[in-house]
Amino acid sequence: MPDLVAIAAALSSLKTATDIAKFLRESDLSLERAELKLKLADLIGALADTKIELVEIQEALAEKDKRIKELESSFESKGTLVRKYDAYYVVGESSEPEGVAYCLRCWETDHKKRQLVGDHKDFRTRVCTACCHRYEVRRAPDIPPRTASPQLGAE
């Protein structure tokens, strides 16, 4: 939810603008021109404040919607990934981990699937491109999918 203080401030600004508009509507023709200009300036200021508060609320809502989508995506992937050695893998048809290795740190802290890539300086090391965490290739290898074993005597 957006900050309740921001919502209260926006509503307060709207109430102030409404009160000023009512005052201007009910005012006599004998109202001095300077007082009228002052009230109009107050009205414009209150409306500008309200607009700023509403834009901030809109940005906060958009940010929260983005975060909700990220968490939903992570939640959907949670059942399809399994840890093996120092990485996470997709669960294959044989219910075993297979495919490319995903960063252990990124998945456990940020819930984001980030593939590990080979380090161009050291062939025995794999690196996460997001967090730069380094893994030994033997502890985070790519696992080829298992093929069904041929049945004996089948011709």
Q: Give the 3-state secondary structure of residue 69.
A: helix
Euclidean distance between CA atoms 152 and 155, whole angstroms: 9
Give the E-state strand segments of 50-106 in sequence order. Answer: 81-84, 87-91, 97-103
pLDDT tens per residue, range 44-96: 888 888 888 888 888 888 899 888 888 777 776 666 788 888 788 888 777 77
**Edge-to-edge strand list for the sheet holding 97-103:** 81-84, 87-91, 97-103
Write down the pLDDT at residue 124: 86
Euclidean distance between CA atoms 67 and 96, whole angstroms: 31
pLDDT tens per residue, range 108-126: 887 788 888 888 888 888 9
Give the best-scoring range by mean pLDDT among 3-7, 25-29, 122-126.
122-126
Q: Are 142 and 90 in contact (CB under 8 A)?
A: no
Q: Are 116 and 124 in contact (CB under 8 A)?
A: no
Give the helix/strand (H/E) hosting 135: strand 134-136
Write down the pLDDT at residue 27: 66
Euclidean distance between CA atoms 146 and 155, whole angstroms: 22
